Amino acid sequence: MDSLDWHSAQAMLAWQAEMGVTETISEMPVDRFAAAEAALAETAAKATAAVAGASVAEAEVDPVGLARQAAASAGDLAALKAALGAFEECELKRGARNLVFADGMPEARVMIVGEAPGRDEDREGRPFVGRAGQLLDRMLDAIDMGRGKDGPKGVYITNVLPWRPPQNREPTTEEIAMMLPFLERHVALADPDILIVMGNISASAVLGKRGITRLRGQWTEAMGRPVLPMFHPAYLLRNPQMKREAWADLLELQAKLETTAT
C-alpha cells in the first residue's frame, strides 16, 4: 500500500471515527497484563538495588576509623579541639549547644576524666561547672589543688564525651567507642603524670571495666600512666555517706604525687 499523505490519513481517520470505530487492533496480539507485571518487576528491582546501594554505602562508613584519623592528625590541643568540632559522625553533636572540650591547666600533672557534660556544662562549654563541678572544686581544694592553680597544684579536666547526651542519659557503647580515639589523643597531648577517672563511664572507657564501687581507690594503669578510679561527684551528691571513701582517694592521689617523679 502506498504511503498516505497527512491530509489523506486525517480524512480516513475522521471517516472511521464517524462510522463508530473506537479502538484499533494491531496485526500482532499484545499481552498488556504481562507488560504491566514486567514494569512492576523492573520498578521493584530498581528499588531493591537502590536500598542495597545505600546499605553498602552506610556499611563503608566507619565512624571509629574516621575518629582515629581525625584525632591522629591533631598535633596539639588546639588542633584536637578543632578536629572534634569538625567531626560529624556523632549524633550527640546535633542536639548539643556547645562542644565541651576541657578546663584547667593543660600542663598539669593530674588529668581528670569525667563522663559527659550536663545541662550547665552544655550551656557554658566547660566541664564540671554545675553542682557536681562545684563539689569537685571543693574536693580538690581540700588537698590544695584546683583547676585554677598553677604549677604542680593545678589540674586539667575533660570528659569521655564532649557533647551532652539528651536528657543526660547514659552514653551508648557506640558513642564511647567513637569518642575514645579523641580521648586517647587528648591524654597523649596533655601528657599528665596521673589520670583520675570519675564514674563508671570513665572507668569503662579508659580501663574497659565497670563497677566503680569495686574499682575506686585501687591504682591501676592505662594509656601509659597510673590511673586512680574515683566516685563521680554527682554520685557523692546523691550518696553523701560515701564522701569518706572519696576523701581517702584524694589522700591516695596526694601521696602518689609526692612519690611520682615530675
In a domain, 29, yes or no: no
Tell me which DSSP letter residue 91 carries: T
pLDDT in the model for residue 43: 74
The pTM (predicted TM-score) of the whole model is: 0.77
Q: DSSP string spanning 191-219?
A: --SEEEEESHHHHHHHHS---HHHHTT--
pLDDT in the model for residue 164: 97
Tell me which DSSP letter residue 59 carries: H
One pLDDT digit (tens) per residue for the chain, 262 residues: 456 677 777 777 777 777 776 666 666 666 666 766 777 777 777 777 766 655 554 557 899 999 999 999 999 999 999 999 999 999 999 999 999 999 999 999 999 999 999 999 999 999 999 999 999 999 999 999 999 998 899 999 999 999 999 999 999 999 999 999 999 999 999 999 999 999 999 999 999 999 999 999 999 999 999 999 999 999 999 999 999 999 999 999 999 999 986 6
In a domain, 1, yes or no: no
Determine the structural domain holding residue 157 and report its residue range.
Answer: 62-259
In a domain, 149, yes or no: yes
In a domain, 20, yes or no: no
Dihedral sign for Cα atoms in the order 84, 90, 92, 95? positive
Cβ proximity of 142 and 243 under 8 Å:
no
pLDDT in the model for residue 57: 47
In a domain, 86, yes or no: yes
CATH number (domain holding residue 255): 3.40.470.10
In a domain, 37, yes or no: no
The strand pairing partners of 189, in sequence order, are none
In a domain, 50, yes or no: no
Question: Going edge to edge, which strands form the sheet with 110-114?
Answer: 103-104, 155-159, 110-114, 194-198, 225-230, 220-222
In a domain, 198, yes or no: yes
pLDDT in the model for residue 151: 87
The number of distinct structural domains making up the chain is 1
SS (H, E, C) 125-183: CCCCCCHHHHHHHHHHHCCCCECCCCHHHEEEEEECCCCCCHHHCCCCHHHHHHHHHHH
Give the DSSP H or E segment for 4: none
Dihedral sign for Cα atoms in the order 223, 257, 218, 105? negative
Cβ proximity of 228 and 197 under 8 Å:
yes
